[in-house]
Amino acid sequence: MRRKKKLKVVFCLRDMQLGGVESVLVRTLEQLIKRDDMEISFVSYVNITEPVYVDWFNAHPQIRRYVLYPCSWLGTKLKRFFLVRLVQHIMRDTYRGARRMFFKHHILHNADVVIDYYDFGFRKELRRVRAKRVAWWHSSINKFLANRSYVKYIKNYDLFVTLTDGFVDEFKARWPKYKKKIVRVYNPMDIESVRRRAEVAPSVDADNYFVCVSRLSGDKDIETVLRGFDKFMSDNNNPDVRMVFVGGGDVNKYRAIADTFASRDKIVFAGPQKNPFGFMRGALAHILSSHSEGLPTVLIEAMAVGTVNISSDCKNGPREILLDGDAGLLFAPGNVDALAKHMDKIWNKTVAIEKMKKNATESLSRFDAVQIAADVAGRIKKKTRH
């Protein structure tokens, strides 16, 4: 019997840092390589140096790995001194041109589908490529709208993948001519793995606490969480409750802000944790306060370990994940009073917490890694038939 030809699929991502996009890519690849109908390759701009990803790719040799610009001095890093920078610009452009030719003729020459995995990062390299081209957008609709160039890039791709139905709906309303190109694919989640890790994870030495698992930065609006917690404490006569932040970033900045509040002694900065799920599992609620999100995986992780979410109703992911408020509580971004009231509801049990948890748990199949990998594979195959 003649063996069926495998689809040759190339994933492209500029670098592999410790971040959400990279984690989602790894989860997607883990499922796709289990299939017998695809050959997977991966291309990065620069050499992978993050140990966890070096080890991961070494453990999966069936994924062919390529580096587009292995010489960093000529590829991506520019000196500051003007004359050196000028010479380097000329040399870099020549080097990149040669490497792009190599990329097209030796890596992509027999590819069926090429996936530009993060926000059009390989748009220049994929010009005039014969393979079907897929752009994968991992950010919010707000970021997309902030740059008018983004929508212009879509004409050069055969498929545009986004993370939420909310993004798809708004995009189609604004640009109906591209409505057949855009699809939604959720980020995959290994729910059972999250639950297993929660069983062996460190946790907080406190009975009652709220947790915020987040990078400590302005776009995550950590200050609103601090102010909301301080108001909650004041409104409830300073109960024995803590506010725990898990994540790296500008700790000194937010510690200084926290020190201005009466509740300062109840605010804990636990720093980054390789396994934050124990912190999540033991919390009264998990809080997300971002101004903008793509599809915040942290909400799904909290749902997986049985913790209710309180989230800002920012575009686009939280409302969709939390089922319009049936699987968690939503508040307007930056609204300190609304956040404090939601914390009060959780603490005083004046909201149907168990019902929200039940709704959340029952909805988790939407993010099942195996199911989503099958969806991705199906969409890839469909495009190669057109």
- Do residue 206 and residue 252 come from a single domain? yes
Nearest CA among 198, 179, 178, 201 for reference residue 190 = 198
- Same-domain pairing of 206 and 134: no
Q: Do 332 and 270 share a structural domain?
A: yes
Same structural domain, 213 and 354: yes
Asked whether residue 332 is domain-assigned, the answer is: yes
Sheet of 64-67, strand order: 64-67, 38-44, 7-12, 113-116, 132-136, 159-162, 182-184
Residues spanned by the domain of 306: 191-366
Q: Which pTM was predicted?
A: 0.83
Same domain, 167 and 295: no
- Domain membership flag for residue 2: no
- In the chain, how many domains are there? 2
Task: Identify whether residues 17 and 155 lie together within a single domain.
Answer: yes
Question: Residue 377: its pLDDT value, please?
Answer: 87
> Are 144 and 258 contained in the same domain?
no
Please indicate, yes or no, if residue 274 is contained in any of the structural domains. Answer: yes
Residue 292 in any domain: the answer is yes
Give yes or no: residues 102 and 53 share one domain.
yes
Residues sharing a CB contact under 8 Å with residue 263, sequence separation 6 or more, in sequence order: 229, 230, 233, 234, 238, 243
Asked if residue 244 and residue 318 are part of one domain, the reply reads: yes
Q: Work out the number of other CB atoms within 10 angstroms of the CB of residue 312.
A: 26
Percent of the chain with pLDDT over 70: 93
User: Residue 131's Cα: distance from chain center in Å?
Assistant: 26
Per the domain annotation, does 317 fall within a domain? yes
d(CA 51, CA 40): 21
Same domain, 159 and 238: no
Residue written as token pair 């009231």: 341
pLDDT at 1: 47
Question: What is the per-residue pLDDT across 61-70, written as a single tens digit (0 to 9) for each?
Answer: 999 999 887 7
Reduce the secondary structure of the chain to three states and give it as a string: CCCCCCEEEEEECCCCCCCHHHHHHHHHHHHHCCCCCEEEEEEECCCCCCHHHHHHHHCCCCCEEEECCCCHHHHCCCCCCHHHHHHHHHHHHHHHHHHHHHHHHHHCCCCCEEEECCCCCCCCCCCCCCCEEEEECCCCHHHHHHCCHHHHHHHHCCEEEECCHHHHHHHHHHCHHHCCCEEECCCCECHHHHHHHHHCCCCCCCCCEEEEECCECHHHCHHHHHHHHHHHHHHCCCCCCEEEEECCECHHHHHHHHCCCCCHHHEEEEECCCCCHHHHHCCCEEEECCCCCCCCHHHHHHHHCCCCEEEECCCCHHHHHCHHHCCCEEECCCCHHHHHHHHHHHHHCCCCHHHHHHHHHHCHHHHEHHHHHHHHHHHHHHHHHC
In a domain, 1, yes or no: no
* Cα 6 to Cα 134: distance, rounded to the nearest angstrom: 18
In a domain, 198, yes or no: yes
Give bridge partners of residue 6 from the DSSP assignment. none
Q: Are residues 33 and 99 in the same domain?
A: yes
Domain-located, residue 35: yes
List the CATH number of the domain containing 90: 3.40.50.2000
Round the CA-based radius of gyration of the chain to a whole number and report it: 23
Which class for 153: exposed (0-12), middle (13-18), buried (19 or more C-beta within 10 A)?
Answer: middle
Residue 220 burial (CB < 10 Å; 0-12/13-18/19+)?
buried
Read off φ and ψ for residue 34, nearest 5 degrees: -80, -15
Each residue's pLDDT, cut to its tens digit, for the chain (386 residues) gives 456 788 899 999 998 987 778 989 999 999 999 888 899 999 998 889 889 899 999 999 999 999 887 766 555 555 565 666 677 767 777 767 677 777 777 778 788 999 999 989 999 888 888 889 999 999 889 999 999 999 999 999 999 999 999 999 999 999 999 999 999 999 999 899 999 999 987 788 888 999 999 999 998 999 999 999 999 999 999 999 999 999 989 999 999 999 999 999 999 999 988 889 999 999 999 999 999 888 999 999 999 999 999 999 998 899 999 999 999 999 999 999 999 999 999 999 999 999 999 999 999 999 998 889 888 888 888 877 66
Residues 31-53: tens digit of each pLDDT: 999 888 899 999 998 889 889 89
- Same domain flag for 129 and 275: no
